[in-house]
Amino acid sequence: DADDKFVLELPKVELHVHIEGTLTPELRWGLAQRNGQTLMLERTGTVYTSLEQLRASYTIMEPRPGHSIDNAEESFTFFEAYYGGFEVLVTEQDFFDLAMNYFRRAASMNVRYCEPFFDPQGHTRRGVSWETMMGGFRRAQQEAEKSFGIKSKWIMCFLRDLPVESAMEHYQAVLPYRDMVVGIGLDSDETNRPPSLFADIFALARQAGFRLTCHCDVGQPTTHENIRQVASVLGGSGAERLDHGLNAAQSQELIQLIKKNGVGMTITPWGYLRHQPVDEIFPRIRTLFDAGIQIAIGSDDPPYMEDCWIIHHLLLAKKMCAFTDHDMVTLARRSVDMSWASESVRAEIK
């Protein structure tokens, strides 16, 4: 309908998408075939013998408030599904194909510029080299700009559930690829892993000119404290962006802090439905928007979220927050402001 067309045609910037989280079951199946691999869920030893079975494994059933899982044996967490996909990424061509698949799809939704996250620790720990990973990403980035007109910069994320020393090693190792990487982030399982653990690395990265962001997921008891750290102290004076952090909307103090420090927030509405009731999610997004906080809608891990890509997240937000067309244009403009694109690229998109 009219909403769909308007949202599809809006020029977009995508600031919250994990490149490994864009691995579709079709691509994963194809890469496994090419690499001669058997696909299986490691914990249970379940082998996927068809694409249909693999597709079914993308329906994440995690325990959540108010929902019990009938067959706990068959349930698996998002992280199990997500990291399970990494195993098919072996060659430079695999990394190229992964990134190219995303860029092609993003360009078809009129994404003009994007800053995808990547998780190098999830690859180096399987023995993949930096050249393989970054070589594939670099070639895809160049090819996508030429073929689809989509520009990009990468954000390297540390897996916060791994030791801080590993993050430091990966920070040193990315320096030769400095021209491709605009920012440093923190993702993966937040349980008992506050951002402050990584304070020294973030401070180093800031001094070296990297832009900083950090995931603060919903459903964490420590979420307010973690949001406070990100918005005020990470990297010395606070990160420039906060990924998720939706629960900030519950606290006037956090809202004011985020505004005062000019922190932009990336929001991926579909993902929250797994953890929070609808009548908490959308009023909170609306509260942040109405408070004048910069927010940008992104897609996180589309195939793991009922195949919701950026337009689906935008349409959901429009409907559930009652955003007008004018509000959607405001959101699109703010996502350009929040981006870490060069002045010339910004001018082109805006």
What is the binding site for Zn ion (CB under 5 A)?
Answer: 300
Binding of ligand ES4 at residue 240 (CB under 6 A)?
no
Q: Quick count: other Cβ atoms within 10 Å of Cβ 192?
A: 10
Strand 40-41, strand 46-47: pairing: antiparallel
Binding of ligand ES4 at residue 22 (CB under 6 A)?
no
Yes or no: say if 90 and 130 are a contact pair by the CB < 8 Å rule.
no
Binding of ligand ES4 at residue 14 (CB under 6 A)?
no
Binding of ligand ES4 at residue 94 (CB under 6 A)?
no
Considering only 12, 215, 241, 318, the residue that binds ligand ES4 (CB under 6 A) is: 215
Residue placing its CB nearer to Zn ion in the complex, 94 or 190:
190
Helix (H, G, I), strand (E, B) or coil at 174: helix
The CA-based angle 298-267-199, given to 5 degrees, is: 105
DSSP 8-state symbol, 67: B
Binding of ligand ES4 at residue 115 (CB under 6 A)?
no
User: What's the min distance (Å) between Cβ of 322 and ligand ES4?
Assistant: 26
Round to whole Å and give the CA distance between 323 and 329.
10
**Amino acid, res. 12:** K
Q: Which 287-316 residues touch ligand ES4, going by CB under 6 A? A: 300-301
Which residue's Cβ lies closest to Zn ion?
Answer: 300
Binding of ligand ES4 at residue 187 (CB under 6 A)?
yes
**Helices (DSSP H) in 149-198: which residue ranges?**
164-174
Binding of ligand ES4 at residue 183 (CB under 6 A)?
no
Binding of ligand ES4 at residue 158 (CB under 6 A)?
no
Binding of ligand ES4 at residue 21 (CB under 6 A)?
yes
Binding of ligand ES4 at residue 116 (CB under 6 A)?
no
User: What's the min distance (Å) between Cβ of 81 and ligand ES4?
Assistant: 10
**Amino acid, res. 254:** L
Yes or no: say if 334 and 295 are a contact pair by the CB < 8 Å rule.
yes
Round to whole Å and give the CA distance between 239 and 184.
10
User: What's the min distance (Å) between Cβ of 296 and Zn ion?
Assistant: 12
User: What's the min distance (Å) between Cβ of 191 and ligand ES4?
Assistant: 10
Yes or no: say if 240 and 264 are a contact pair by the CB < 8 Å rule.
yes
Round to whole Å and give the CA distance between 266 and 288.
11
Binding of ligand ES4 at residue 217 (CB under 6 A)?
yes
List residues near ligand ES4 by CB under 6 A: 18, 21, 82, 119, 187-188, 215, 217, 300-301
